[in-house]
Chains A and B, each alone.
Chain A
Amino acid sequence: MYRIDFNKLRFLICDDNPHMRRILRTLLHSFGAREVYEAEDGATALEMYTHYVPDIVITDWSMPIFDGLELAQMIRQPESKGNPYAPIIMLTGHSEKRRVTVARDAGVTEFLAKPISAKGLYQRILNVVANPRPFIKTKTYFGPDRRRNTTNTYIGPERRGSGEVEVMQQPSLLEKARLGPGG
Protein backbone atom coordinates (compact mmCIF):
# COMPACT_ATOMS: atom_id res chain seq x y z
CA MET A 1 0.00 0.00 0.00
CA TYR A 2 1.23 3.49 -0.83
CA ARG A 3 0.72 6.78 0.91
CA ILE A 4 1.77 10.27 -0.12
CA ASP A 5 4.26 12.17 1.97
CA PHE A 6 2.53 15.53 1.62
CA ASN A 7 5.18 17.07 3.81
CA LYS A 8 7.51 17.06 0.81
CA LEU A 9 5.09 18.53 -1.69
CA ARG A 10 4.76 22.18 -2.61
CA PHE A 11 1.35 23.32 -3.82
CA LEU A 12 0.16 26.40 -5.64
CA ILE A 13 -3.58 27.04 -5.47
CA CYS A 14 -5.30 29.61 -7.60
CA ASP A 15 -8.91 30.64 -7.01
CA ASP A 16 -10.48 34.09 -6.92
CA ASN A 17 -12.92 33.00 -4.22
CA PRO A 18 -11.40 33.40 -0.74
CA HIS A 19 -13.77 30.81 0.77
CA MET A 20 -12.68 28.15 -1.69
CA ARG A 21 -9.03 29.00 -1.10
CA ARG A 22 -9.60 28.56 2.63
CA ILE A 23 -11.23 25.17 2.07
CA LEU A 24 -8.44 24.02 -0.22
CA ARG A 25 -5.78 25.18 2.20
CA THR A 26 -7.53 23.39 5.07
CA LEU A 27 -7.75 20.15 3.10
CA LEU A 28 -4.13 20.25 1.95
CA HIS A 29 -2.81 21.07 5.42
CA SER A 30 -4.92 18.23 6.83
CA PHE A 31 -3.40 15.85 4.29
CA GLY A 32 -0.03 16.91 5.71
CA ALA A 33 1.13 19.58 3.26
CA ARG A 34 3.16 22.40 4.74
CA GLU A 35 3.92 24.52 1.71
CA VAL A 36 0.76 25.87 0.15
CA TYR A 37 0.97 29.08 -1.84
CA GLU A 38 -2.14 30.98 -2.86
CA ALA A 39 -2.99 33.27 -5.74
CA GLU A 40 -6.33 34.93 -6.46
CA ASP A 41 -5.88 35.34 -10.19
CA GLY A 42 -4.05 33.69 -13.04
CA ALA A 43 -1.45 36.41 -13.52
CA THR A 44 -0.35 36.27 -9.89
CA ALA A 45 -0.38 32.48 -10.03
CA LEU A 46 1.93 32.48 -13.05
CA GLU A 47 4.34 34.77 -11.26
CA MET A 48 4.26 32.55 -8.16
CA TYR A 49 4.64 29.47 -10.32
CA THR A 50 7.91 30.79 -11.71
CA HIS A 51 9.12 31.93 -8.33
CA TYR A 52 8.19 29.01 -6.07
CA VAL A 53 8.37 26.14 -8.61
CA PRO A 54 5.47 24.18 -7.08
CA ASP A 55 5.17 20.42 -7.50
CA ILE A 56 1.42 20.56 -8.12
CA VAL A 57 -0.89 23.37 -9.27
CA ILE A 58 -4.57 23.39 -8.34
CA THR A 59 -6.53 26.03 -10.20
CA ASP A 60 -10.07 27.24 -10.63
CA TRP A 61 -11.29 27.87 -14.17
CA SER A 62 -13.43 31.02 -14.00
CA MET A 63 -11.44 33.97 -12.76
CA PRO A 64 -11.35 37.61 -13.84
CA ILE A 65 -8.90 38.80 -16.50
CA PHE A 66 -6.63 35.74 -16.70
CA ASP A 67 -8.45 32.49 -16.06
CA GLY A 68 -7.34 28.99 -15.12
CA LEU A 69 -7.39 27.78 -18.69
CA GLU A 70 -5.01 30.54 -19.76
CA LEU A 71 -2.84 29.77 -16.75
CA ALA A 72 -2.57 26.14 -17.88
CA GLN A 73 -1.70 27.25 -21.41
CA MET A 74 0.99 29.60 -20.11
CA ILE A 75 2.54 26.88 -17.95
CA ARG A 76 2.52 24.41 -20.83
CA GLN A 77 5.01 26.31 -22.94
CA PRO A 78 7.68 23.79 -23.95
CA GLU A 79 10.26 26.48 -24.61
CA SER A 80 9.67 28.34 -21.35
CA LYS A 81 12.40 28.65 -18.74
CA GLY A 82 10.12 27.36 -16.01
CA ASN A 83 8.91 23.80 -15.58
CA PRO A 84 6.21 23.08 -18.18
CA TYR A 85 5.59 19.57 -16.83
CA ALA A 86 4.04 20.24 -13.40
CA PRO A 87 0.73 18.46 -12.84
CA ILE A 88 -2.23 20.84 -13.10
CA ILE A 89 -5.49 19.93 -11.39
CA MET A 90 -8.44 21.98 -12.64
CA LEU A 91 -10.95 22.38 -9.80
CA THR A 92 -14.03 24.02 -11.21
CA GLY A 93 -17.75 24.57 -10.97
CA HIS A 94 -18.05 23.76 -14.66
CA SER A 95 -19.62 20.36 -14.95
CA GLU A 96 -20.17 19.87 -18.67
CA LYS A 97 -18.30 17.20 -20.58
CA ARG A 98 -17.24 19.65 -23.28
CA ARG A 99 -15.44 21.67 -20.60
CA VAL A 100 -13.43 18.61 -19.62
CA THR A 101 -12.33 18.29 -23.23
CA VAL A 102 -11.36 21.96 -23.45
CA ALA A 103 -9.38 21.72 -20.19
CA ARG A 104 -7.67 18.55 -21.39
CA ASP A 105 -6.69 20.25 -24.65
CA ALA A 106 -5.15 23.13 -22.68
CA GLY A 107 -2.80 20.68 -20.97
CA VAL A 108 -4.68 20.15 -17.71
CA THR A 109 -3.65 16.88 -16.03
CA GLU A 110 -6.73 16.18 -13.92
CA PHE A 111 -10.24 17.65 -13.82
CA LEU A 112 -12.18 17.84 -10.56
CA ALA A 113 -15.71 19.19 -10.67
CA LYS A 114 -17.05 21.02 -7.62
CA PRO A 115 -18.45 20.43 -5.08
CA ILE A 116 -15.08 19.54 -3.70
CA SER A 117 -14.59 16.56 -1.41
CA ALA A 118 -11.54 15.47 0.56
CA LYS A 119 -11.65 12.08 -1.13
CA GLY A 120 -11.92 13.51 -4.66
CA LEU A 121 -9.01 15.88 -4.12
CA TYR A 122 -6.85 13.19 -2.52
CA GLN A 123 -7.49 10.80 -5.39
CA ARG A 124 -6.53 13.37 -8.01
CA ILE A 125 -3.31 14.18 -6.17
CA LEU A 126 -2.52 10.49 -5.75
CA ASN A 127 -3.08 9.97 -9.44
CA VAL A 128 -0.72 12.71 -10.57
CA VAL A 129 1.94 11.60 -8.10
CA ALA A 130 1.74 7.85 -8.72
CA ASN A 131 0.73 7.69 -12.38
CA PRO A 132 2.33 10.51 -14.33
CA ARG A 133 1.61 10.30 -18.04
CA PRO A 134 4.18 11.00 -20.74
CA PHE A 135 3.94 14.35 -22.46
CA ILE A 136 2.98 14.76 -26.08
CA LYS A 137 4.21 17.57 -28.27
CA THR A 138 2.57 18.26 -31.61
CA LYS A 139 2.24 21.40 -33.67
CA THR A 140 -0.88 22.37 -31.75
CA TYR A 141 -0.56 20.64 -28.38
CA PHE A 142 1.89 20.27 -25.55
CA GLY A 143 0.76 18.49 -22.42
CA PRO A 144 0.07 15.16 -20.76
CA ASP A 145 -0.90 12.32 -23.06
CA ARG A 146 -4.61 12.73 -23.64
CA ARG A 147 -5.01 9.02 -24.25
CA ARG A 148 -5.57 7.44 -20.89
CA ASN A 149 -6.97 4.22 -22.27
CA THR A 150 -4.14 2.02 -23.47
CA THR A 151 -6.24 -0.81 -24.87
CA ASN A 152 -5.86 -1.51 -28.59
CA THR A 153 -9.56 -1.75 -29.30
CA TYR A 154 -9.80 1.79 -30.71
CA ILE A 155 -11.69 1.98 -33.98
CA GLY A 156 -11.41 5.21 -35.93
CA PRO A 157 -8.95 7.43 -37.73
CA GLU A 158 -5.38 7.40 -36.42
CA ARG A 159 -4.60 11.05 -35.88
CA ARG A 160 -1.02 10.52 -34.77
CA GLY A 161 1.13 9.58 -37.73
CA SER A 162 3.88 7.02 -37.41
CA GLY A 163 7.49 7.44 -38.40
CA GLU A 164 11.02 6.73 -37.44
CA VAL A 165 11.76 6.86 -33.75
CA GLU A 166 14.55 9.15 -32.74
CA VAL A 167 15.59 9.34 -29.09
CA MET A 168 17.16 12.56 -27.86
CA GLN A 169 18.63 13.03 -24.41
CA GLN A 170 17.99 16.35 -22.75
CA PRO A 171 18.81 17.69 -19.30
CA SER A 172 15.95 17.47 -16.82
CA LEU A 173 13.67 20.47 -16.78
CA LEU A 174 13.54 20.15 -13.03
CA GLU A 175 17.27 20.85 -13.08
CA LYS A 176 16.60 23.74 -15.44
CA ALA A 177 13.90 25.08 -13.14
CA ARG A 178 16.26 24.91 -10.16
CA LEU A 179 18.91 26.90 -11.96
CA GLY A 180 16.38 29.63 -12.62
CA PRO A 181 16.17 32.11 -15.49
CA GLY A 182 19.11 31.84 -17.83
CA GLY A 183 20.16 28.54 -16.26
Chain B
Amino acid sequence: MAKDKPGTIEVKSFGTHHVITQPNPLRKVLLRVPESDLDDPVGRAEKALAGLSGEFKEWMTIEADRLSAAHAAALRDGFNEQTREELFRAAHDIKGDAATFGYPSAAAAAESLCRIIEHAPDLDAVPPQLIAHHINAVQAIVRERTRLDTTVVAGVLSKQLRGIADEFLTHANRDRPEHLEAILAPSIVPNE
Protein backbone atom coordinates (compact mmCIF):
# COMPACT_ATOMS: atom_id res chain seq x y z
CA MET B 1 0.00 0.00 0.00
CA ALA B 2 2.83 2.36 0.85
CA LYS B 3 3.86 2.53 -2.75
CA ASP B 4 7.16 4.13 -3.54
CA LYS B 5 8.72 4.40 -6.96
CA PRO B 6 10.10 0.99 -7.79
CA GLY B 7 13.78 1.20 -7.03
CA THR B 8 16.52 -1.10 -8.12
CA ILE B 9 17.86 -3.67 -5.75
CA GLU B 10 21.58 -3.57 -5.32
CA VAL B 11 23.25 -6.91 -4.71
CA LYS B 12 26.85 -7.02 -3.56
CA SER B 13 28.28 -10.50 -3.83
CA PHE B 14 31.04 -11.69 -1.54
CA GLY B 15 32.70 -15.06 -1.19
CA THR B 16 30.03 -16.67 0.96
CA HIS B 17 27.14 -14.26 0.94
CA HIS B 18 25.26 -11.54 -0.88
CA VAL B 19 24.28 -8.22 0.67
CA ILE B 20 21.01 -7.01 -0.82
CA THR B 21 19.95 -3.41 -0.45
CA GLN B 22 16.85 -1.84 -1.86
CA PRO B 23 15.61 1.73 -1.54
CA ASN B 24 13.36 1.88 1.55
CA PRO B 25 9.90 1.10 0.15
CA LEU B 26 8.27 2.55 3.29
CA ARG B 27 10.15 5.86 3.21
CA LYS B 28 7.08 7.74 2.07
CA VAL B 29 5.15 6.98 5.25
CA LEU B 30 7.74 8.82 7.33
CA LEU B 31 6.54 12.38 7.84
CA ARG B 32 8.74 15.16 9.11
CA VAL B 33 6.76 17.11 11.69
CA PRO B 34 7.73 20.10 13.84
CA GLU B 35 8.84 19.46 17.41
CA SER B 36 5.67 21.25 18.51
CA ASP B 37 3.51 18.53 16.92
CA LEU B 38 1.03 17.41 19.55
CA ASP B 39 -0.15 14.22 17.93
CA ASP B 40 0.41 11.35 20.33
CA PRO B 41 -0.37 8.00 18.64
CA VAL B 42 0.92 5.98 21.61
CA GLY B 43 -1.26 7.92 24.06
CA ARG B 44 -4.22 7.52 21.73
CA ALA B 45 -3.64 3.77 21.53
CA GLU B 46 -3.32 3.47 25.31
CA LYS B 47 -6.65 5.23 25.69
CA ALA B 48 -8.24 2.89 23.17
CA LEU B 49 -6.81 -0.09 25.06
CA ALA B 50 -8.24 1.30 28.29
CA GLY B 51 -11.56 1.52 26.48
CA LEU B 52 -11.42 -2.23 25.91
CA SER B 53 -10.66 -2.98 29.53
CA GLY B 54 -14.33 -3.51 30.39
CA GLU B 55 -14.11 -6.76 28.46
CA PHE B 56 -10.88 -8.03 30.00
CA LYS B 57 -12.52 -9.88 32.91
CA GLU B 58 -14.70 -11.86 30.51
CA TRP B 59 -11.77 -12.58 28.20
CA MET B 60 -9.64 -13.73 31.10
CA THR B 61 -12.41 -16.02 32.32
CA ILE B 62 -12.62 -17.57 28.85
CA GLU B 63 -8.83 -18.10 28.80
CA ALA B 64 -8.81 -19.62 32.29
CA ASP B 65 -11.71 -21.95 31.42
CA ARG B 66 -9.87 -23.04 28.28
CA LEU B 67 -6.87 -23.92 30.45
CA SER B 68 -9.06 -25.94 32.83
CA ALA B 69 -10.68 -27.75 29.89
CA ALA B 70 -7.25 -28.62 28.47
CA HIS B 71 -6.20 -29.91 31.87
CA ALA B 72 -9.38 -31.99 32.18
CA ALA B 73 -8.70 -33.50 28.74
CA ALA B 74 -5.14 -34.40 29.78
CA LEU B 75 -6.43 -36.04 32.97
CA ARG B 76 -9.03 -37.97 31.01
CA ASP B 77 -6.90 -39.07 28.03
CA GLY B 78 -3.42 -38.92 29.50
CA PHE B 79 -0.60 -36.84 28.07
CA ASN B 80 -0.26 -37.34 24.35
CA GLU B 81 0.89 -34.92 21.67
CA GLN B 82 -2.56 -33.37 21.32
CA THR B 83 -3.39 -32.92 25.02
CA ARG B 84 0.12 -31.69 25.80
CA GLU B 85 -0.02 -29.15 22.95
CA GLU B 86 -3.43 -27.83 23.93
CA LEU B 87 -2.47 -27.49 27.60
CA PHE B 88 0.74 -25.71 26.62
CA ARG B 89 -1.01 -23.39 24.18
CA ALA B 90 -3.71 -22.45 26.69
CA ALA B 91 -1.09 -21.71 29.37
CA HIS B 92 1.12 -19.90 26.88
CA ASP B 93 -1.73 -17.61 25.80
CA ILE B 94 -2.40 -16.69 29.43
CA LYS B 95 1.30 -16.08 29.97
CA GLY B 96 1.26 -13.61 27.09
CA ASP B 97 -2.13 -11.97 27.53
CA ALA B 98 -2.97 -11.94 31.23
CA ALA B 99 -0.76 -9.00 32.21
CA THR B 100 -2.36 -6.91 29.45
CA PHE B 101 -5.76 -7.88 30.87
CA GLY B 102 -4.68 -6.78 34.36
CA TYR B 103 -3.81 -10.20 35.79
CA PRO B 104 0.02 -10.26 36.03
CA SER B 105 -0.01 -12.97 38.71
CA ALA B 106 -2.05 -15.26 36.46
CA ALA B 107 0.55 -14.64 33.76
CA ALA B 108 3.31 -15.64 36.17
CA ALA B 109 1.52 -18.84 37.22
CA ALA B 110 0.87 -19.71 33.57
CA GLU B 111 4.52 -19.11 32.71
CA SER B 112 5.56 -21.50 35.46
CA LEU B 113 3.20 -24.12 34.03
CA CYS B 114 4.61 -23.56 30.52
CA ARG B 115 8.10 -24.23 31.86
CA ILE B 116 6.95 -27.51 33.41
CA ILE B 117 5.33 -28.65 30.16
CA GLU B 118 8.34 -27.60 28.08
CA HIS B 119 11.13 -28.91 30.28
CA ALA B 120 9.82 -31.89 32.25
CA PRO B 121 11.51 -35.00 30.84
CA ASP B 122 8.28 -36.95 31.24
CA LEU B 123 4.99 -35.19 31.94
CA ASP B 124 3.52 -38.37 33.38
CA ALA B 125 6.24 -38.27 36.02
CA VAL B 126 5.33 -34.74 37.13
CA PRO B 127 3.38 -34.84 40.40
CA PRO B 128 -0.24 -34.31 39.29
CA GLN B 129 -0.78 -31.88 42.17
CA LEU B 130 1.94 -29.60 40.84
CA ILE B 131 0.08 -29.13 37.56
CA ALA B 132 -3.31 -28.97 39.28
CA HIS B 133 -2.11 -26.26 41.68
CA HIS B 134 -1.08 -24.09 38.74
CA ILE B 135 -4.47 -24.51 37.07
CA ASN B 136 -6.29 -23.80 40.32
CA ALA B 137 -4.13 -20.77 40.99
CA VAL B 138 -4.97 -19.23 37.62
CA GLN B 139 -8.68 -19.87 38.21
CA ALA B 140 -8.55 -18.41 41.73
CA ILE B 141 -6.62 -15.31 40.63
CA VAL B 142 -9.17 -14.63 37.90
CA ARG B 143 -12.15 -15.35 40.12
CA GLU B 144 -10.98 -13.27 43.09
CA ARG B 145 -9.52 -10.38 41.09
CA THR B 146 -12.19 -7.92 42.21
CA ARG B 147 -11.31 -8.31 45.89
CA LEU B 148 -8.74 -5.67 46.80
CA ASP B 149 -6.90 -7.85 49.32
CA THR B 150 -6.18 -10.63 46.83
CA THR B 151 -3.56 -8.91 44.68
CA VAL B 152 -0.70 -9.44 47.13
CA VAL B 153 -1.82 -13.00 47.89
CA ALA B 154 -1.95 -13.75 44.14
CA GLY B 155 1.61 -12.49 43.73
CA VAL B 156 2.89 -14.60 46.63
CA LEU B 157 1.02 -17.66 45.34
CA SER B 158 2.56 -17.33 41.86
CA LYS B 159 6.05 -16.88 43.24
CA GLN B 160 5.70 -19.94 45.47
CA LEU B 161 4.44 -22.06 42.59
CA ARG B 162 7.35 -20.92 40.43
CA GLY B 163 9.79 -21.78 43.20
CA ILE B 164 8.42 -25.30 43.60
CA ALA B 165 8.24 -25.83 39.84
CA ASP B 166 11.82 -24.63 39.35
CA GLU B 167 13.06 -26.90 42.12
CA PHE B 168 11.34 -29.84 40.48
CA LEU B 169 12.64 -28.96 37.00
CA THR B 170 16.19 -28.34 38.16
CA HIS B 171 16.27 -31.74 39.83
CA ALA B 172 14.52 -33.56 36.96
CA ASN B 173 16.93 -32.05 34.41
CA ARG B 174 20.14 -32.51 36.35
CA ASP B 175 21.47 -34.72 33.55
CA ARG B 176 20.10 -32.59 30.70
CA PRO B 177 22.36 -29.54 30.47
CA GLU B 178 20.50 -27.90 27.59
CA HIS B 179 17.25 -27.85 29.53
CA LEU B 180 19.00 -26.88 32.72
CA GLU B 181 20.55 -23.89 30.99
CA ALA B 182 17.18 -22.83 29.60
CA ILE B 183 15.51 -23.21 33.00
CA LEU B 184 18.11 -21.08 34.72
CA ALA B 185 18.41 -18.45 31.96
CA PRO B 186 16.89 -15.07 32.78
CA SER B 187 13.78 -13.92 30.92
CA ILE B 188 14.14 -11.09 28.40
CA VAL B 189 11.00 -9.53 29.86
CA PRO B 190 11.88 -7.27 32.79
CA ASN B 191 10.29 -8.12 36.12
CA GLU B 192 7.24 -6.18 37.23
At the interface, yes or no: A168 with Cβ under 8 Å from chain B? yes
Question: What range describes how many residues of B lie at the interface?
Answer: 35 or more
Q: Which residues of B contact A29 (CB under 8 A)?
A: 48
Q: Flag if B1 contacts A10 (CB, 8 Å).
A: yes
Interface of B is mostly: mixed
Chain A interface category by residue count:
35 or more
Beta-carbon nearest neighbor of B17 in chain A = A138
A162 — which chain B residues lie within 8 A by C-beta? 14-15
Q: Is the CB of B96 within 8 A of A93?
A: yes
Interface digits, B125-139 against A, CB 8 Å rule (1 contact, 0 not)? 000000000000000
Kindly supply a per-residue 1/0 record for chain A positions 69-107, scoring 1 wherever the CB is within 8 Å of any chain B CB and 0 otherwise: 000000000000000010100001111111010000000
Known A31-B44, A97-B188, A115-B99; judge A1-B33 contact (CB<8 A): yes
Could you tell me the distance in whole angstroms from the C-beta of A163 to the nearest C-beta in chain B? 3
A91's nearest neighbour on chain B, judged by CB, is B96
- Distance of A80 Cα from B89 Cα, bound (Å): 31
- Chain A residues contacting B160 (CB-CB under 8 Å) are none
Contact B22 A85 (CB under 8 A): yes
A168 touches B11 (CB 8 A): yes
A180 CB-CB contact with B under 8 Å: no
Q: Contact check, B41 vs A30: say whether CB atoms are below 8 A apart.
A: yes
Contact A129 B12 (CB under 8 A): no
CB–CB B52/A93 < 8 A:
no
| In the bound complex, CA of A163 to CA of B16 (Å) | 8
What are the interface flags for B3-22 relative to A under an 8 Å C-beta threshold, 1 for contact and 0 otherwise?
A: 11011111111111111111
Q: B187 near A1 (CB under 8 angstroms)?
A: no
Whether A1 contacts B34 by the Cβ 8 Å rule is yes
In the complex, the answer to whether B8 meets A172 with C-beta atoms within 8 Å is yes
Q: Which chain A residues lie closer than 8 Å to B24 at the CB level?
A: 132
The distance from the CB of B173 to the nearest CB of chain A, in whole angstroms, is: 15
Per-position binary interface string of chain A over residues 157-174, scored 1 when its CB falls under 8 Å from any chain B CB and 0 otherwise: 000111111111111111
Q: Which residues does chain B contribute within 8 Å of A16, judged by CB atoms? A: 89
Q: Which residues of A are found within 8 Å of B9, using beta-carbon distances?
A: 169-173
What would 30 A/B residue contacts be, using CB atoms closer than 8 Å? Answer: A1-B32, A1-B37, A2-B32, A8-B2, A17-B93, A19-B101, A26-B49, A29-B48, A30-B45, A32-B41, A55-B2, A55-B26, A62-B88, A95-B188, A95-B189, A122-B42, A134-B19, A134-B21, A136-B17, A136-B18, A161-B14, A161-B16, A161-B17, A166-B12, A166-B13, A168-B10, A172-B6, A173-B9, A173-B22, A175-B6
Residues of chain B whose beta carbon lies under 8 Å from any beta carbon of chain A: 1-4, 6-26, 28-35, 37, 39, 41-42, 44-49, 51-52, 59, 62-63, 85, 88-89, 92-93, 95-101, 107, 111, 114, 182, 185-189
Chain A interface (Cβ < 8 Å from any Cβ of B): 1-6, 8-10, 16-17, 19-20, 22-23, 26-27, 29-32, 35, 53-55, 62, 64, 85, 87, 92-98, 100, 113-116, 118-119, 121-122, 128-130, 132, 134-139, 145, 160-175, 178
